[in-house]
Every structure is written in C-alpha cells, then in structure tokens.
Amino acid sequence: MNAFLKINMREVTRLTQAGKLTEALALLRSHLTPGVTHASPAQDRPGPGGETKRPSPTLDMMAPSETGGAWTAPSHSGDRATSESHRPDKAASVRTPAFRDHLFTLHSVPAASRGLEAVLKPEVAVPDGARFEERTFSNHVGSRTYKVYVPSSYAGQALPVVVMLHGCTQNPDDFAAGTRMNELAEEQQFLVAYPRQPQSANMQKCWNWFNVNNQQRDGGEPSLIAGIALQVIEEFAADPARVYVAGLSAGGATAAIMATTYPELFAAAGVHSGLACGAARDMPSAFAAMAGRGAIRRRSEGPLVPMIVFHGNADRTVSPVNGDQIVTQAEPEMALTKVVTRGESPGGMNYTRIVQRDDSGAEILEQWVLHGVGHAWSGGSTSGSYTDPRGPDASREMIRFFSAHANAKVAARP
C-alpha cells in the first residue's frame, strides 16, 4: 500500500492550521521517507517584531552520485546511499526549512558537488552593450523585485518579452545562468524578465502555486507577475502581442497558472517539471498532486494559450503524470492532429516529442517526455542549479515554439 495513503491527512491539516508546522512535517515524513531523522523541535523563538516563530526542521541529505539522480536520505551507518536509495520510497528533500516549503524542494542537482553556495550565486556574463538590471513592481497585493535582460541590439524597437519563473531556492541570476535564456535573448533579440520570489513570501523562495489565492487573476502572485510583464512592456516599448511565460518546478506550476488567469496577456507558455493550474488547493493536496493524484481543473472559456511542456519520466519530485495533466488541461474542444516522434539528444538523452496541431496546421500543444531524467531543466548549464545538460535544449525549443505565436489582444494593467 502506498505510504501516502497511510497518512492521517486530517491530522496533518489540523496541525498545519494550528501553526504546528514542525509536527505536521514530521507526521508526513515519517510515512513518506522511512529512516529519515528529523531535528528535534526547539523552543519557540521571538521574531524581530515580537512575534513567535517556530524553528524549522532540517533533513541531512546526500547529494546525487550521478547526473539526474535524486537527493537521498543517508543510511543510519552514515554511508552514502546505494543505488537502492534512488527508489521513490527512499527519496527525500534537501534541507527543508518549514513544512509549507517542503512542497517544492528540488531533488535533481547534478552540480551539487560544487557546493550549494557556488550554485546559487553564479556569475552571469553580460555582453558589451547589453544590460541585466533590477527593477521593482508594486500593486495592491504587494511588491516584487525582478531582473530584466536587455540585449545589446536593443535600440527602442518593439521586442518580444519572455517572463521566466524560477524554481525553489533559486533566484534570477541562478535561473538565468542555468537556462542560458539571456544568451538566447542576445542571439535572437528579445527581452527577458525574471521575477524574484523572496523568502518573506516563502522560506524556500518557491512560488506558492498550491494556494488558492495564487490561482486567480487580479490578486495574489499572478497579479504581481502580470504587472511585471506589463511594466517591462511599458518601459521598453516591447511588443504586447509577443509576451510569453515559462518556468521550472514551482515556477512551472505558476507559469501554467499565468496561462490560465491571463490568457489575453501571454501568447504562449512553457512549463518544465510543473503542475496544472488548480492541481492543488492547499498544502495537503499539494503532496497528492506532486505524487500524481492532483485534480485536473478544466480550462475555463476564454482564449487558448498554446503551451510547450517538458517533464522527465524519472522525476521523483513531481510525478511525470503532471506533464500529461498540463497538456490535458490546455487542450481545446476542437480535435487536434497528433504526431509523435522519438529521438536522442547530442548528450545521449532519449526523448519522445508529441506535437498537436489544429486544422490550419498551427501548433497548439507540444510535449517532451525526457526518458530517465529527474527534476531538472533539460539542456541547461551547470553554471546554474537544477539542470541536466545532457538533454534537448528546453530553452531553445521554448523560444522556437513561442516565436510561432502572437496575441493581438493586450491586457490592461492588473
């Protein structure tokens, strides 16, 4: 019987609502990862403003021994986990500061041996004449900083905009380095915006995709991300018909939300290792969704946002079925022609590519199933975190897909 089914989710929910996050996490992990030792709860500590904060439990994890591998719990003897530890029932998360932030800790870190600090603070090269600058957007919800890459060829022309949503523990510099999206922007002339999720919003810097308030337009994180896109359009006189959104993991789940909540703003979307909009409604259901038991909310009436989806079929953080669910949610009522091809990347990764076109031949949906791949950006650079350089270049394929789509409708500022 699946360990998840043995969990008393009512008790988990009660503990969570009571603010007993340490106890809730311990209850979950005792079923999901046998043998993992949790830090003992310490006394409550007062915060800077006098409020009480609970200390966060931590899990000591072993780095993956091979590209695409999973972070695993160390054995009781202290030895590195054997190949058996790569079984799903042995996988666990990297140092989890709090229960809510465990929802999207990432597992596949091929560059982990270089040290987490080096991975999260990469050097991002900026060519002569180009800019990579920080901005801030604020609205009735709050504010977020973001970085924007402006290619050296920019001279006031109406360029496309790509909004990139990082995964947990990442930041704009790390995500830019790992995806190499700035290099593509320099080569193909487009702007890139990287919204930053601060620790004040989520201790692991995850986008809160599992929160109902963040699955609606004109509120929560979607309004902030949409506002950033519109602010970039305004500042750089960008092309409002060619605005796109893409993301990894928690950022991928949020990219799917943006495509659903702001279809008139985004001409196309890219989701890498993410989940469908509305797959979870709270923290307990997020675990079910990540395990492949999330609900699929049918797309509401409105403009169809073309989508390209990447997912590794060996992903033990977010079940591969989520990639299928994203595509199912994005499918229009009209019948599409499906073409399936299989291939191998120059780095030796096998993949299956499924393209769906409408009667006019326009590509509406594209899905890449990456064989033997864990939770990592395909074809990325080891200069950033959570990448697998062996695979097809997800960044380049997304830009190719985006380039075929434009949206004539322009959204008003949220």
The DSSP secondary structure of 286-331, one letter per residue, reads HHHIIIII---PPPPSS----EEEEEETT-SSS-THHHHHHHHHH-
Domain end (from 93, 119, 145): 119
Lowest-confidence pick of 27-36, 71-80, 95-104: 71-80
Is residue 57 predicted with pLDDT exceeding 50? no
Query: pTM of this prediction?
Result: 0.75
Structural domain includes residue 35: yes
107 plus 139 within the same structural domain: no
- Co-location of 317 and 349 in the same domain: yes
Residue 413 domain-assigned (yes or no): no
Partners of 368 in the beta sheet?
A: 310, 353
- Tell whether the model's pLDDT for residue 85 goes beyond 60: no
For residue 64, the model assigns a pLDDT of 40
- Does the residue 414 lie in any domain? no
Together in a domain, 169 and 233: yes
Specify which residues 337 forms β-bridges with. 357
Segment 166-173 shows an average pLDDT of 96
CATH (domain of 131) = 3.40.50.1820
Give the residue carrying structure tokens 């050296």. 152
Mean pLDDT lowest among 104-113, 248-257, 284-293: 104-113
How many domains, the chain? Answer: 2
Identify which of 34, 410, 367 has the alpha carbon closest to the alpha carbon of residue 234. Answer: 410
Q: Give the tens place of pLDDT for each residue, 331-356.
A: 988 899 999 999 999 999 999 999 99
Per residue in 250-274, pLDDT tens? 999 999 999 999 999 999 999 999 9
Q: Which domain holds residue 248?
A: 127-403
- Is 333 within 8 Å of 294 (Cβ atoms)? no
Looking at the DSSP assignment, which residues form a beta bridge with residue 165? Answer: 247
Q: What share of the chain is helix, strand, coil (3-state, %, to 5)?
A: 30, 20, 50
Strand partners, 370: 312, 351
Q: What is the pLDDT of residue 155?
A: 97
Domain's final residue, options 77, 92, 119: 119
| Domain closes at, from 119, 135, 153 | 119
pLDDT in tens, 295-332: 887 766 667 899 999 999 999 999 999 999 999 999 98
* 330 and 245 co-located in one domain: yes
Confidence (pLDDT) at 303 = 77
Contacts of 134 (CB under 8 A, 6+ apart): 145, 146, 147
For residues 224 and 3, which has the higher predicted lDDT (pLDDT)? 224
Q: 20-24, 85-89, 114-118, 223-227 — which one is most confidently predicted on average? A: 223-227
Is 249 among the domain residues? yes
Please indicate, yes or no, whether residues 21 and 140 belong to a single structural domain of this protein. Answer: no
Residue ranges with strand state E in 142-250: 143-150, 161-165, 191-195, 243-248
Mean pLDDT of 103-124: 45
Residues 109, 150 within the same domain: no
pLDDT at 10: 64
